[in-house]
Structure 1
């Protein structure tokens, strides 16, 4: 039997204790509305108002709760120096290194050394055929002797009037000219001897006895390799960290298990505008005579840097105003501007208003707001 209009109104005036009861009441209201559509309009309007009031959740009327502090995981910042290990390729050159050429053209008479021989300064290395030059020197020496005899004879008569003064002077000039010719002849003989200009080690000779040579013929190389000069380039950005007497290490492919130690001796006065590098020269002791001029080296330089605050990479964030980190100070999140200096081993060196030992947020940054409290639930350092 369908419900009467009065029973419909009475049923909908009862307070529904739950959402399920309110749903049932709404369904009952649909049936009752069909019954009451012919009755007074205010009855239907009253029933609809009650049904809508029951359908609304009761908690919508409750005041909003205050937001809780977001949980975060922090890490402790530390202090670290911006030290850089620079690896570059260098080229080894003997401290003194020359290629010897003859002073004059001629025929090689003798090669007076063997390859790899250590020689002293002034030691004879090559001789050219010099028979004509020696004969010319002998002739010049004879002329000097004759001029000396004549000059002494005339000098003995000075003041007696036996020989005019102008003849005595001419005899003295002739003696001096003969002496100069003798010096030139001896120099011509010396030019046909090639000597070592300094102590060193000789390379392979390019000529043999009997070869014809000119002043453009390279005879042999001579290297003083007791100390090797090591030339390499350093990027402009690290120029302020490089100084004379700074130590370094070098490795050569011929001796990969051995490290050679040296120090910087010279720094070029200019930066190459194309490569933006500056040339640096160091020295490597070579007391064992293992190194050779022209060798390549893997050079390693330890460049000291300034002290900065180090934080995990996860702590560094980016915003419209640049990079920053979230620091936890007195239980609140504080946004601190931080300029990244260099990344290394999962951490980043930063320059900003952050001190070593302060905690920075590494997880949970999405819900952070400046100067709002946070709840630290772990330390990831």
Structure 2
């Protein structure tokens, strides 16, 4: 179109593109449930020393607290008595067998000694099992003093006891730890978009506290129900966090790449507002243009999806259309 007007128009053919729609939803950093560690006292006693405080980083095996327990002392005493009784019963049985072999002991005495050994073995096993059940799974015992240790590296989140305090309820955690080497980015998808998101979709998280840094991954899980408070569906993405930069409670944005069928896309500069409708100019032949009403879908940065009104291959005025609008 060789005219002053034509030289100001830029015309391009449109094509169908199968690019995903990038859905942006609010997100929050949360710790993984499997990486949260509750520390319990294995039995009642008194906290002798407490070696940590909230916010402190601990390594696997570090002593968190020491507990003096009368129950442990009693269990140790019972076990020692049972082992001594078993040793004595075994010696008496051997002696009875030796005397019986030379004819100086009745068989019933040997059988009685053997029965005593069996009883002593059962009692020794009982006290041994009892002692093993009292020993902490994440610690060591030295006499009646138990040392509770960290089961893994992590941060101390809460401490619910202090030195000198008695522990009477062993079902209440005395402290909690959390391993932040891997965290969740949890996004809230609006109710009207909930059916569009699924596990495995590419995603990218960013957080206000980390500036321009981006964390790429995939949607791991999608909640089966919506939150009754927010009317949003939670989606989770795993984020490696070896440097512990991300902390639970940080807020940001989760971008989810939602697959879309092939659709025509046009630059925003091609669109014109005509009363309540959105239009573009289509070149029907050289120098001849037709105003066409289009239905717009998702906004993808500089491009917009066209749901109806345009076909792939049609030539659209992408710059200077406003000049035709005034013509």
TM-score, reference length from structure 2: 0.68
Partner of 1:211: 165
Instruction: Map 1:1-381 to 2 at 5 A.
Output: 76=12, 78-79=14-15, 81=19, 83-94=21-32, 96-113=35-52, 115=54, 116-120=56-60, 122-131=61-70, 133-154=72-93, 157=96, 161=107, 163-165=109-111, 167-185=113-131, 187-188=133-134, 190=136, 192-203=146-157, 205-215=159-169, 217-235=172-190, 237=193, 239-240=195-196, 242-244=198-200, 246-253=202-209, 255=210, 257-264=211-218, 266-268=220-222, 270-272=224-226, 277-311=232-266, 312-314=270-272, 329=284, 339-343=295-299, 348-352=304-308, 354-359=310-315
Output the aligned Cα RMSD.
Answer: 4.1
Please report how far the alpha carbon of residue 96 of structure 1 lies from its aligned counterpart in structure 2 after TM superposition. Answer: 0.5
- In structure 2, the CA distance between the partners of 1:187 and 1:330, relative to structure 1 (3 Å rule), is closer
Q: Give the secondary structure class of the aligned counterpart of 1:259.
A: coil
- In structure 2, the CA distance between the partners of 1:259 and 1:111, relative to structure 1 (3 Å rule), is same
Flag structure 2 segments of 5+ consecutive residues without an equivalent: 1-8, 102-106, 138-145
- In structure 2, the CA distance between the partners of 1:340 and 1:260, relative to structure 1 (3 Å rule), is closer
Please report how far the alpha carbon of residue 166 of structure 1 lies from its aligned counterpart in structure 2 after TM superposition. Answer: 5.2
Please report how far the alpha carbon of residue 225 of structure 1 lies from its aligned counterpart in structure 2 after TM superposition. Answer: 1.0
Please report how far the alpha carbon of residue 356 of structure 1 lies from its aligned counterpart in structure 2 after TM superposition. Answer: 3.2
Listed one character per residue, the Cα deviations across residues 93-132 of structure 1 (whole Å, up to 9, x for unaligned) are 1561133232333321122345513220x54322222255
Q: Of the two structures, which has the highest relative contact order with CA contacts closer than 8 Å and spacing of 6 or more?
A: 2
Please report how far the alpha carbon of residue 210 of structure 1 lies from its aligned counterpart in structure 2 after TM superposition. Answer: 0.6
Preserved contact between residue 77 and residue 355 of structure 1 (Cα < 8 Å):
no
Q: Give the secondary structure class of the aligned counterpart of 2:64.
A: strand
Distance in 1, matches of 2:305 and 2:134, equals 71
Please report how far the alpha carbon of residue 228 of structure 1 lies from its aligned counterpart in structure 2 after TM superposition. Answer: 1.6
Preserved contact between residue 272 and residue 279 of structure 2 (Cα < 8 Å):
no
Listed one character per residue, the Cα deviations across residues 245-280 of structure 1 (whole Å, up to 9, x for unaligned) are 724132143x4x242414135223624285664322
Preserved contact between residue 75 and residue 130 of structure 2 (Cα < 8 Å):
no
Distance in 1, matches of 2:223 and 2:282, equals 45
Partner of 1:366: none
Flag structure 1 segments of 5+ consecutive residues without an equivalent: 1-72, 363-376
Distance in 2, matches of 1:295 and 1:246, equals 21
Q: Give the secondary structure class of the aligned counterpart of 2:260.
A: coil
Distance in 2, matches of 1:343 and 1:260, equals 22
Distance in 2, matches of 1:118 and 1:132, equals 28
Select the structure of larger CA radius of gyration. 1
Preserved contact between residue 91 and residue 294 of structure 1 (Cα < 8 Å):
yes
TM-score, reference length from structure 1: 0.60
- In structure 2, the CA distance between the partners of 1:296 and 1:157, relative to structure 1 (3 Å rule), is farther
Distance in 1, matches of 2:271 and 2:310, equals 15
Q: Give the secondary structure class of the aligned counterpart of 2:65.
A: strand
Distance in 2, matches of 1:343 and 1:140, equals 74
Listed one character per residue, the Cα deviations across residues 319-373 of structure 1 (whole Å, up to 9, x for unaligned) are 9xxx9978554588889886543356797532347433424699xxxxxxxxxxx
Please report how far the alpha carbon of residue 156 of structure 1 lies from its aligned counterpart in structure 2 after TM superposition. Answer: 6.2
Preserved contact between residue 48 and residue 66 of structure 2 (Cα < 8 Å):
yes
Please report how far the alpha carbon of residue 224 of structure 1 lies from its aligned counterpart in structure 2 after TM superposition. Answer: 0.9
Distance in 2, matches of 1:286 and 1:361, equals 48
Q: Give the secondary structure class of the aligned counterpart of 1:355.
A: coil
Distance in 1, matches of 2:65 and 2:234, equals 37
Listed one character per residue, the Cα deviations across residues 35-85 of structure 1 (whole Å, up to 9, x for unaligned) are xxxxxxxxxxxxxxxxxxxxxxxxxxxxxxxxxxxxxx9965523546324
Aligned residues: 288
